[in-house]
Amino acid sequence: MTELNEAPTGASRGGDGAEPLLKLRGIDKHFGPVQALYGVDLDLPAGQVTGLCGDNGAGKSVLTRCIAGAHQPDHGEMFFEGRPVHIRSTRDASALGIETVYQDLALADNLDIVQNMFLGREALSRGLLDEDSMELKAAETLKGLRVTTVRSIRQPVASLSGGQRQSVAVAKAVMWNSKLVLLDEPTAALGVVQTRQVLDLIKRLRDTGLAVMVISHNLNDVFEVADRVAVLYLGRMVAEGPVADFDRQSIVEYMTTGTASGRPYEPAASASGEV
Amino acid sequence: MTPDRETPVTTDPGETPAGTTGVGTADLTLDAQVAEVDIPPQLVAQSLGEYMRASLLRIRSGNSGVLPVVMAIVIVAVVFQIITPEHAFLRPSNLVYIFGLSTVYMILAIAETIVLLIAEVDLSVGAVALIGGAIAFKLVQQPGPNWPWWAAILAALVICGAIGALQGALVALLRIPAFVVTLGGFLLFSGILIIILGGADSTVSLNTDVPNQNFIYDMVQGLITPVIGWIVLAVVVVAAGTSQLRRLAARRRRNLVAPPLSLTVIRIALVAIVGAAVVIVCSVNRGTSLKHVTGIPWVIPIVLVVLGAWTLALQRTRFGRYIYAVGGNPEAARRAGVSLPKIRIWAFALCSATAALGGILLGSFFYGQYSTNTADPGQLVLYTVAAAVIGGVSLFGGRGKAIHGVLGGLLIGGIAYGVSLLNLGSLSTPLTYILPGGVLLIAVLIDVSSRRGSGGVTGV
């Protein structure tokens, strides 16, 4: 994929005041009598990594699925590149350039790396699978992300290590002109070295101008890669701002009580997190 | 994976195209040794020697494609050749007969492979095959429907395909276990078969004096003269060989890893040698000195065409790719936009349609006679599943190819016929169950252990 190697172009690189790639305003979602999200606002700027934190049941997964098109919010607005959008299915999300890497990665062990990366979007020539072009394109994408530790991109995914699998899943997500990548607990099952590998990969995604949202329990990872932090507490967005506004202590307090030192989050510069 | 794997890694990671660009990232493959054995050797080997070493490593991990079943066929052939009276097992007449006998197992095993690949099972495959055969035989009867042979065969395939689609729909849409659905189907269709044949004692037979009916009879019994056999073999080997070599050259041009040229040449030569052996065996007089019988049965090219078609469909089409994906990880396939019900229903439908062809060939093999005694649908399905699994198709889905079904079917047919040659009297019948059963259990053990092995790799 060539655009991965190119420097980010245009104004999409999210500086202060720039229009975020994806903007959520007042997202509500309930399942029967259970309210999962209360008027959630969230900005996901291009060229930045946003860490989404929250305790179990805070609504991280529901919010992710709303963005990915797996759920539809009951109320609220979404703006993609400034235009209002309705994401009704995962297909809609893919069409916009939103790709999700779920925690279980969704790779077929018996298929090789190329086959997995192109699953559902195979290249054909004269009705038959065009293996050679797919292999070239997959190799190019992996090279662009500097995922170079696999011995052969024709080896079955079953033979890969956890970090390599995560890398393949991410590469699969970014190969399709994606602009926003949602990563659900990307380092949860990984050892130290492999976590390092995946975090480096996330940074490279950001450096190519993609908007990245990382859902993580692991605050080490959040502070390592995130430019911005958003904290959900019982379905409400209690804090959202640049990572410099937070320290480990305050994030934990926001996650567990919704406030830090008894006070709600107040953004230092731009207005955002409404409680 | 077994912990005692100490074989040194032979290939240099720097030689793979992905590896050469590894600037700034360390090789993090912590379990390179374990991963090594899961990689098909042709991917990393740049020379014949490397290929052999990688292959050995894979075989030792129980992950080796067709080699075990080929070795089993060789062992069975040698053992039966030694123990059969007059060492008759490998006589040309017997070899041709074994191929005819195995045909139904080969075709049914290919059919079963399709369903096994999506991690389901079809126990009705024997009964459905017999129904397909009975339908085709009924439809060409004269007096009677007197359909042209091709229409009768097509009708049998379509009807059986519909039966398969119906069972597949129950499995795919209602998620009833395939075991239950097809077990019910097996009993149901075994009964319907008797109705179609017109009662438990009736026989439907082909009249070989009528060309239209004789065509179906000839599908197994008809012979190609050796000269034409040689010509067809030469054309096939040259065509397949050049297309292989051209694909390799194309991959090299685009800087993709391609197996060493010597390996491809050896493979083409092996195919040519096996083909030549078949033609030579078929060219020997199998009859008496008074009535010469030589030639290649039609059924050999028919099996090869079915094998080729299914190999192409499974390896080179989108449908085939989705079959493997559904078998490997249905959730991944679903998220990739694959319709699971659609793939599952098609898999069952095509399995049953392919089985119908097997049923027609079975009737032709029994000299154009179709009756309830032609084959026991229960034994047929057991032999079929056994053939597929012995051939190397995984019971757990996602692993196996059409060629595995063919080789497994040949092994089962060889064992069945070998036992019948032994003149063991009362012991003969039990052995036709015991031997395939034993081989099946061994094959399943290998399947389970290799599955456990490759599963262990992921736990890093």
Which among A115, A152, A161 is the nearest to B16, CB-wise? A152
The region that residue B192 occupies, defined by phi over 0 for left and psi between -120 and 50 for alpha, beta otherwise, is alpha
The region that residue A174 occupies, defined by phi over 0 for left and psi between -120 and 50 for alpha, beta otherwise, is alpha
Task: Residue A110: list chain B partners with CB under 8 A.
Answer: 324, 327-328, 398-399
Task: Residue B454: list chain A partners with CB under 8 A.
Answer: 109, 156, 158-159
pLDDT given for residue B97 in this prediction: 92
B151: three-class secondary structure by DSSP = helix
Say whether residue B251 is in contact with chain A using an 8 A CB cutoff: yes
Alpha-helical segments (H) within A97-246: 113-117, 131-144, 162-174, 192-207, 219-225
CB B35 within 8 A of CB B460: no
* Among chain B residues, CA nearest to A121: B336
Alpha-helical segments (H) within B13-124: 32-38, 41-44, 48-60, 67-83, 92-117
% of chain A residues with pLDDT over 90:
32
Q: Is B317 exposed, middle or buried (0-12, 13-18, 19+ CB in 10 A)?
A: middle
Taking the C-alpha atoms of residue B407 and residue B405, their distance in angstroms, rounded to an integer, is 6
B18, A153: Cβ pair inside 8 Å?
Answer: yes
β-partners of residue A13 are A46
Taking the C-alpha atoms of residue A207 and residue A14, their distance in angstroms, rounded to an integer, is 11
Which among B22, B23, B332 is the nearest to A108, CB-wise? B332
Supply φ then ψ for residue A182, to 5 degrees. -100, 125
Which among A107, A119, A159 is the nearest to B457, CB-wise? A159
CB pairs under 8 A between A and B: 159
Residue partners of A202: CB distance under 8 A and separation at least 6: A49, A170, A183, A186, A212, A214, A225
Q: Is B51 exposed, middle or buried (0-12, 13-18, 19+ CB in 10 A)?
A: buried
Which among A102, A132, A160 is the nearest to B250, CB-wise? A132
DSSP A19: P
Whole-number average pLDDT of chain A: 84
CB A14 within 8 A of CB A47: yes
Taking the C-alpha atoms of residue B211 and residue B149, their distance in angstroms, rounded to an integer, is 9
Q: Does some domain include residue A151? A: no
Residue partners of A56: CB distance under 8 A and separation at least 6: none
Give the tokens for residue B109. 């095993």
Task: Residue B317: list chain A partners with CB under 8 A.
Answer: 127-129
Q: Number of C-alpha atoms within 13 angstroms, CB side, residue B367?
A: 1
A34 is in which domain, residue-wise?
Answer: 9-108+178-257
Which among B34, B35, B43 is the nearest to A154, CB-wise? B43
Q: Among positive and negative, which fits the CA dihedral A234, A240, A246, A247?
A: positive
Interval A256-274: pLDDT, tens = 888 887 778 877 654 444 4
pLDDT given for residue B33 in this prediction: 43
Q: Locate tokens 């406030």: which residue?
A: A259
Give yes or no for residue A153 having a pLDDT over 80. yes
**What residue type is assigned to position B369 of the chain?**
Q
CB A146 within 8 A of CB A204: yes
* Among chain A residues, CA nearest to B335: A106
Taking the C-alpha atoms of residue A150 and residue A164, their distance in angstroms, rounded to an integer, is 7
**What residue type is assigned to position B459 of the chain?**
G
Interval A79-132: pLDDT, tens = 999 899 999 888 888 889 999 888 888 899 899 999 999 998 899 988 899 989
A109, B329: Cβ pair inside 8 Å?
Answer: yes
- CATH code for the domain defined by B65-222+298-457: 1.10.3470
Name which of A216, A199, A239 is nearest A56 in CA terms: A216
Q: Which of B9, B28, B38, B63 to mutate to test the interface with A (most CBs of A within 10 A)?
A: B28
* Among chain B residues, CA nearest to A191: B460
DSSP string, B246-292: HHHHHHHHTT-----HHHHHHHHHHHHHHHHHHHHHHHS--S-SSS-
Q: Does some domain include residue A158? A: no
Which among B28, B316, B455 is the nearest to A128, CB-wise? B316
Taking the C-alpha atoms of residue B113 and residue B391, their distance in angstroms, rounded to an integer, is 10
* Among chain A residues, CA nearest to B326: A108
Say whether residue B13 is in contact with chain A using an 8 A CB cutoff: yes
Supply φ then ψ for residue A220, to 5 degrees. -55, -45
Distances in Å between the Cα of B17 and the Cα atoms of A167, B93, B257 are 17, 51, 7
Q: Which of A161, A193, A203 to mutate to test the interface with B (most CBs of B within 10 A)?
A: A161
pLDDT band per the 50, 70, 90 thresholds, residue A214: very high
Q: Which of B9, B61, B318 to mutate to test the interface with A (most CBs of A within 10 A)?
A: B318
Are β-strands A22-31 and A34-44 bridged in parallel, bridged antiparallel, or unpaired?
antiparallel
Q: Does some domain include residue A131? A: no
The region that residue A57 occupies, defined by phi over 0 for left and psi between -120 and 50 for alpha, beta otherwise, is left
Q: Does some domain include residue A236? A: yes
A155, B457: Cβ pair inside 8 Å?
Answer: no
The secondary element (H helix, E strand) that includes residue A26 is strand A22-31
Domain with CATH 1.10.3470 in chain B: 65-222+298-457
* Among chain B residues, CA nearest to A157: B458
Taking the C-alpha atoms of residue A166 and residue A153, their distance in angstroms, rounded to an integer, is 14
Are β-strands B223-224 and A228-233 bridged in parallel, bridged antiparallel, or unpaired?
unpaired
Q: Is B439 exposed, middle or buried (0-12, 13-18, 19+ CB in 10 A)?
A: buried
B29, A149: Cβ pair inside 8 Å?
Answer: yes
Q: Taking a contact as any Cβ pair under 8 Å apart, which residues of chain B between 318 and 347 contact chain A? A: 318, 321, 324-325, 327-329, 331-333, 335-338
Are β-strands A49-54 and A98-101 bridged in parallel, bridged antiparallel, or unpaired?
unpaired
Shortest Cα distance, chain B CAs vs residue A112, angstroms: 9
The region that residue A8 occupies, defined by phi over 0 for left and psi between -120 and 50 for alpha, beta otherwise, is beta
pLDDT given for residue A217 in this prediction: 82
Angle formed by the axes of helices B178-197 and B149-174, nearest 10°: 150
DSSP string, A203-247: HHHHHTT-EEEEE-S-HHHHHHH-SEEEEEETTEEEEEEEGGG--
Strands (E), B174-266: 203-205, 223-224
pLDDT given for residue B407 in this prediction: 95
pLDDT given for residue B262 in this prediction: 86
Which among B318, B329, B454 is the nearest to A122, CB-wise? B318
Quote the number of domains for chain A.
1
Q: Does some domain include residue A150? A: no
pLDDT given for residue B446 in this prediction: 76
Give yes or no for residue A140 having a pLDDT over 70. yes
Residue partners of B315: CB distance under 8 A and separation at least 6: B401
The secondary element (H helix, E strand) that includes residue B369 is strand B369-371
A241-248 average pLDDT score: 89
Q: What is the CATH number of the domain that holds A77?
A: 3.40.50.300
- In angstroms and rounded to an integer, the radius of gyration of the C-alpha atoms of chain B is 23
What is the separation of C-alpha B246 from the centre of its chain, rounded to a whole number of angstroms?
A: 27
Interval A157-198: pLDDT, tens = 888 888 888 888 888 888 887 899 999 888 887 888 888 888
pLDDT given for residue A44 in this prediction: 93
Q: Taking a contact as any Cβ pair under 8 Å apart, which residues of chain B between 386 and 405 contact chain A? A: 398-399
Taking the C-alpha atoms of residue B34 and residue B19, their distance in angstroms, rounded to an integer, is 18
pLDDT in tens, chain B (460 residues): 344 433 333 333 333 333 333 333 333 344 444 445 556 666 666 667 777 777 666 665 545 578 888 988 999 999 999 998 888 899 999 999 999 999 999 999 999 999 999 999 999 999 999 999 999 999 999 888 889 999 999 999 999 999 999 999 999 999 999 999 999 999 999 999 999 998 888 888 888 888 898 889 999 888 999 999 999 999 999 999 999 899 889 888 888 878 788 888 998 999 999 999 999 999 888 887 788 888 899 999 999 999 999 999 999 999 999 999 999 999 999 888 899 999 999 999 999 999 999 999 999 999 888 888 888 888 899 899 999 998 989 988 999 999 999 999 999 999 989 888 887 778 878 887 888 788 778 878 877 776 665 543 332 2
The region that residue B368 occupies, defined by phi over 0 for left and psi between -120 and 50 for alpha, beta otherwise, is left
Supply φ then ψ for residue A39, to 5 degrees. 45, 55
Q: Does some domain include residue A1? A: no
Q: Does some domain include residue A252? A: yes
Distances in Å between the Cα of B359 and the Cα atoms of A108, B112, B303 are 34, 14, 13
**What residue type is assigned to position A175 of the chain?**
M
